[in-house]
A and B are shown apart, each in its own frame.
Chain A
Amino acid sequence: MTQHLLSILIWLPIMGGAALIAIGDNKDAASSRAGLMRIAALAVSVATFLISIALYAGFDNAATGMQFVEKEPWVASLNVFYSLGVDGISTPLILLTTFITPLVVIAGWDTIKNRPAQYFAAFLILEGLMIGVFSALDALLFYVFWESMLIPMFLIIGIWGGARRVYATLKFFLYTFLGSVLMLVAFIYLYGQTGGFDLFGFVDAPLTLTAQKFIFIAFLLAFAVKVPMWPVHTWLPDAHVEAPTGGSVILAAIMLKMGGYGFVRLSLPIVPDGSEYFAGMMIALSLIAVVYIGFVALMQKDMKKLIAYSSIAHMGFVTLGFFILWSVSGNAGAGLGMSGGMVQMISHGLISGAMFLCVGVLYDRMHSREIADYGGVANTMPVFAAFMVLFAMANAGLPGTSGFVGEFMVIIASFKANFWYAFLAASTLILGAAYTLWMVKRVIYGEVANANVAALTDLNTREFIVLAILAVSVLLVGLWPAPLVDMMNVTIEQLIEQVGQSKL
């Protein structure tokens, strides 16, 4: 089984989703058939998670190169391979994916009234495709998973989203589609240079600086849209606000990570000189995201929008951590920035997912995301308030939570690079605390604002379980990040060495 572990992780949820679609849907969410669908979806997602534990257990932290490798010819005449494998960068992201999906399934349990089977099927298929992106070692296979992923998300936002869902989902699809088609052109160009789509072939291919610059730009468009980086972030607030809670969670927790993953898996090793050439610009864009978007978040009146902007700011740390590589002297500092970015990705996956779930809990009761409609929620929902405050603190980067670890590592690394980078990056400690805690203050604390808030009921068991699991994991990563960092170390060292070798 271990030699096909990745294939199982990819295809089990996809097949499960296909089965849900095939068995058909029932408009009545309360029927026993719909209930069976939910249980089946949960079973598949939990089974996927349990199998992914085998991936964690079997993963060798000390080994260099790819593990759990599978390679079969796929399209022989184009030299495309069905080639999978994971290393220290992709394994944590796969685990994050398999961890978040069951929670999303539980979160949608009885809140989705309309076509539940299709809803759960979309998430399961999406899960398989996302794992595919993180484990593909062939550029075309990567691209196929990368683009296919848009289809379920397009439907999730469009069918189960809010009032402006059509606008939001079309914007999401076209924005990301436009970003990624140029990556395809870059892949085909590299295919012409190397005769195959193998990512390692791309890494070894000699490329001129001009070619590297163009390829970097093509990759940048694809990944910057996904991350998203300022100024191509505008699709994200719309998509987040309109998406159903589960969609927002997956979008924030995992899909945004694809962009960061793309930078480390493709941009840095394939076009090291191109990356170095544009590193200054990337740092500038990251800092703009951290500072400017932080201020934008401060001004939001809609909770989901606020968290969406906070995601952009936090993802700015990720790209900052990756691209200060050349400004830092010595491998230790570079490694710190890189690991910081990676830890930040995992941590942001947990925290933003939890924040969106919290907003979802409120939205299910009040059908409003406006901060102004709330106030004094702690009086009627004390347990919920405790969770929300914990996640808000984590979002603000409180030591002891996962949010602190990544940000701190990146700030330390940027101090080694340039004082002003660190100065601007550290402003997030104030801004992040300001926008998150101000929101919490207005929503959770104070007098009970109106009759609707007074009528709120506290978390039910289902919601409690989901938030409790996330709370534990946020604290776990915050207090004991060693297992996560150890998993990445060898790969990151290897990556830094690779990036250090000029292709010119």
Chain B
Amino acid sequence: MNMMDYMVAAPEMVLLGLICLVLIADLFTDDEHRVRTFWISILALVAIFFVIDGTATESRTVIFSGSYVSDPLSQILKMAAVIFVGITFLYSRDYLRANEIHKGEFYLLGLIGLLGMMIMMSANSMLTVYLGLETLALSLYALVAIDRNNVTSAEAAMKYFILGAIASGCLLYGISWVYGVTGSLQFHEIAAAISTDPSLNNLPLWFGLAFLIVGIAFKFGAVPFHMWLPDVYQGARTPVTLYIASAPKLAALALFLRILVDGLGVLHDTWAAMIMVIGVLSLLVGNFAAIAQSNIKRMLGYSTIAHVGFILLAFFCGTEQGNAAALFYTLTYVVAAAGAFGMIILLSRRGYDAENLADFKGLNARSPWFALMMMFLMFSMAGVPPFVGFFGKLNVISAVIDSGYTGLAVLMVLASVVGAYYYLRVIWYMYFEEAEDQAVLQASTDTRLVLSLNSVAVLALGIVPGWLLALCIQILG
């Protein structure tokens, strides 16, 4: 072990150092100047982005006795996570300030959560994964409860915490079974152990596998482990929902790729059926339940479940094409989700959360530009070309058909048609209805600019999707 080994893990270490810095700086900042914490956090994120970029390697490097891995997958996911956490901070700042919950802890917990995500993305052993997962989860529980005087937030946090603890328990239990059977916690050793001794591929291992899948499905919010998701999305303050809806989805993707593809990829035949059932259920429950919602945060929560269904069905294929499709889908979905929640924050103001669908009524009259941006985001989520969501769905369906499941592909496109309805409803409210609320939008210039870029990105990526797709294929090829 020499210094060079530590360099590989520089992003996490530098981030940890910067978190301490933010913590101390925040201690010496009073509420009036809280925005300083925001700027320091943004600077920290910029620094981390360049550290990740600077330490990036083409090859796969495993350090810390096989517990930590740095490969192109982890680097791209970390960079994306850093960007989305930064966007979250930016969209949230004005809202938090207006609602007098502008606390340094929001940024601090956000950064700690990011550290957890980065550890998950670079995990090469079950314990590292678990460590990262808990770091992220604990930050999220606290973030949901950040507005402690708000009853719904507190309730959501409690629900999230209890269910999350059960899921972590399941995951840990599954890990212990896999460890018991294979004698290792490191993914490549687990894979090697099963390959060399096929007799291990038996009931005890499958038993552990089932618990692992429960844990992973919970983190994704897949049916039937989705109960927490709509409640937390609705109950948390909108900036926190935005945080949960964006970067942690990338971490969940990493969780899946590391455990079930890197570690237990040889068991694909065993887990594929479970993943398919979970994926199809998520797709159907998510899309049908979203139709009935009048709270847009809750609606987007159910829509997330439906999108998770798509991601899981991409993994179900078990092919490189399928994994690349899942990566592409997740990356582009997070862009749209960040924009959509950013738009909800944009419409909110002091003491008023624009969280009902009806709040979007007549937006075209109030602000034609942002109505157009929201329309881009909604059509992208619905999977209508030329927006990037279409290419996400196209890749997944293409992977599914290539694996020979044309019937499943038909089910997926039909579910998308059901899904189109509730996205169209947002557009209908924005364009075809009269405004109930005539207040002028109050966002600052930088937020407006980034939100516009964010929304235009779903169109731009839809027109030139080639490079991102090629990148995803290269990483997982």
Q: Give the interface of A toward B (CB within 8 A).
A: 21, 24-25, 27, 73-78, 115, 118, 140, 143-144, 147-148, 150-151, 154-155, 158-159, 165-166, 169-170, 173-174, 177-178, 181-182, 184-185, 188-189, 191-192
Contacts and interface: CB of A to CB of B under 8 A. Distances in A.
A148 B368 CA distance: 20
A177 B417 contact: yes
B409 interface: yes
Contacts of B410: 182, 185
Contact of B432 (A76, A165, A174, A189): A165
B473 A77 contact: yes
B431 A178 contact: no
A148 B385 contact: yes
Contacts of B384: 147-148, 150-151, 177
Interface stretch (B76-84, B238-246, B303-311, B390-398): B390-398
A185 B413 contact: yes
17 contacts: A78-B398, A115-B368, A140-B394, A144-B385, A144-B386, A147-B385, A155-B427, A159-B431, A169-B428, A170-B421, A177-B417, A178-B417, A184-B397, A188-B394, A192-B398, A192-B401, A192-B402
Interface in B421-477: 421, 424, 427-428, 431-432, 465-466, 469-470, 473
Interface residues of B, number: 35
Contacts of B428: 158, 166, 169-170
B368 A24 contact: yes
Contacts of B466: 73-77
Which among B395, B402, B431, B469 has the greatest number of chain A C-beta atoms within 10 A? B431
Contacts of B421: 170, 174
Interface string B387-423: 0001100110110011000100110011011001100
Interface in B361-381: 364-365, 368, 372, 379
Given A21-B372, A158-B431, A78 B401 contact: no
B432 A184 contact: no
A150 B390 CA distance: 14
A52 B103 CA distance: 61
Contact of B424 (A173, A184, A189, A192): A173
A166 B416 CA distance: 20
Interface string B103-132: 000000000000000000000000000000
The 6 closest A-B pairs by CB, nearest first: A181-B413, A144-B385, A75-B466, A158-B432, A178-B417, A147-B385
B469 A154 contact: no
Contacts of A170: 421, 424, 428
Contacts of B401: 185, 188-189, 192
A81 B211 CA distance: 45
Contact of A185 (B397, B424, B427): B397
A94 B264 CA distance: 55
A182 B417 CA distance: 11
B424 A182 contact: no
Given A166-B428, A185-B409, A76 B470 contact: yes
B385 A78 contact: no
Contacts of A189: 401, 406
Contacts of A192: 398, 401-402
B319 to A, nearest CB: 12
A107 to B, nearest CB: 22
Contacts of A21: 368, 372
B262 to A, nearest CB: 23
Contact of A77 (B368, B417, B470): B470
Interface of B: 364-365, 368, 372, 379, 384-386, 390-391, 394-395, 397-398, 401-402, 406, 409-410, 413-414, 416-417, 420-421, 424, 427-428, 431-432, 465-466, 469-470, 473
B404 to A, nearest CB: 9
A177 B384 CA distance: 9
Nearest to B469: A77
Given A118-B364, A184-B394, A185-B409, 4 more contacts: A24-B368, A75-B466, A151-B379, A189-B401
A178 B386 CA distance: 17
B406 A185 contact: yes
A191 B395 CA distance: 12
Contacts of A118: 364, 368
B470 A188 contact: no
Contacts of A173: 420, 424
Contacts of B431: 155, 158-159
Contacts of A158: 428, 431-432
Contacts of A74: 466
Contacts of B379: 151
Contacts of A185: 397, 401, 406, 409-410, 413
A27 B367 CA distance: 12
B368 A25 contact: yes
A185 B411 CA distance: 10
Nearest to B399: A188
Contacts of B420: 173-174, 177
B417 A181 contact: yes
A75 B385 contact: no
B398 A188 contact: yes
Which among A174, A185, A189 has the greatest number of chain B C-beta atoms within 10 A? A185
Which among A24, A151, A182 has the greatest number of chain B C-beta atoms within 10 A? A151
B429 to A, nearest CB: 10
B364 to A, nearest CB: 8
Contacts of B406: 185, 189
A248 B246 CA distance: 41
A154 B424 contact: yes
A104 to B, nearest CB: 20
A73 B464 CA distance: 11
Which among B391, B395, B428, B465 has the greatest number of chain A C-beta atoms within 10 A? B428
A204 B71 CA distance: 42
Contacts of A77: 466, 469-470, 473
Contact of A75 (B424, B432, B469): B469
A274 to B, nearest CB: 16
A437 B272 CA distance: 64
B371 to A, nearest CB: 10
A143 B397 CA distance: 15
A123 to B, nearest CB: 16
Which among A25, A76, A170 has the greatest number of chain B C-beta atoms within 10 A? A170
Contacts of A144: 385-386, 390
Nearest to B402: A192
A155 B368 CA distance: 13
A143 B417 contact: no
A78 B468 CA distance: 12
A174 B417 contact: yes
Nearest to B477: A77
